[in-house]
Amino acid sequence: MKIKVGFGFDVHRLVPERELWLGGIRIEHSTGLAGHSDADVLIHALCDALLGAANLRDIGFHFPDTAAQFKNIDSKILLLKTVDLIRKEGYEIGNADITVCAEQPKLNPHIPAMKEKLAEVMHIQEEDISIKATTTEKLGFTGREEGISAYAVVLLEKK
C-alpha cells in the first residue's frame, strides 16, 4: 500500500451581507466570507490538501475563480468533484485533520454538524475527520475579525 500526505491552506475575507458557510453548513453570523464561490474556507483548504496529496495541482487549477460556472457554487460540489478526481487516480481517504482559525463566531458547537456533512459528501466515516477551532488571540487579520483561515492535512492510501 502506498500512502500520500497533502496539506492545504485557505483564507477568505469577512464581509457584510454574505452568508457564512464553513464545513458545508451555514452558520448564523453578522458577516460571511467573500469569494467567487460560497467561500467555504474549510472545504477549500480540504480540497487543496486532497489534490496536493494526489499530485493533482490545486483547487484554483481545477475550479478557477475566473470561470462563470463556479460563481456562487456550493463548495460541497467542489469537494465532491475533488474526491471523484482522487478516486479516479486510485486513492482512498485515510483521514483528514482540519484547523479553522476564527475569533467569531465560536465554532465548537458546529463541529459535529460539519463532520457529519463532510463525511456524507466524501463517503467516509466521521471518525476519519478531525476538525478543530482556534483563535489567534486577537492577533493579525483573524484577530481583528477581518477574515477566517483554515489548514488541512490529509492521508491518502493507494492500494
Residue percentage of the chain with pLDDT more than 70: 100
Q: How far apart are CA 159 and CA 157, in angstroms?
A: 6
Tell me how far apart the alpha carbons of residues 44 and 22 are, in angstroms, rounded to a whole number.
Answer: 10
Query: Which residues make up each annotated binding site for a divalent metal cation?
Result: 10, 12, 44
What is the mean pLDDT of the segment spanning 30-57?
97
pLDDT in tens, 52-94: 999 999 999 999 888 888 898 999 999 999 999 999 999 999 9
Specify the DSSP class assigned to residue 28.
-
pLDDT of amino acid 72: 86
**Binding residue ranges:** 10-12, 36-37, 44, 58-60, 134-137, 141, 144
Q: Where are the alpha helices (DSSP H) in 1-159?
A: 41-53, 59-62, 75-88, 111-122, 140-143
Domains of the chain: 2-158 (3.30.1330.50)
Yes or no: say if 55 and 91 are a contact pair by the CB < 8 Å rule. no
In angstroms, the CA 22 to CA 19 distance is 10
Which of left, alpha, beta for 23 (phi over 0: left; psi -120 to 50: alpha)?
A: left
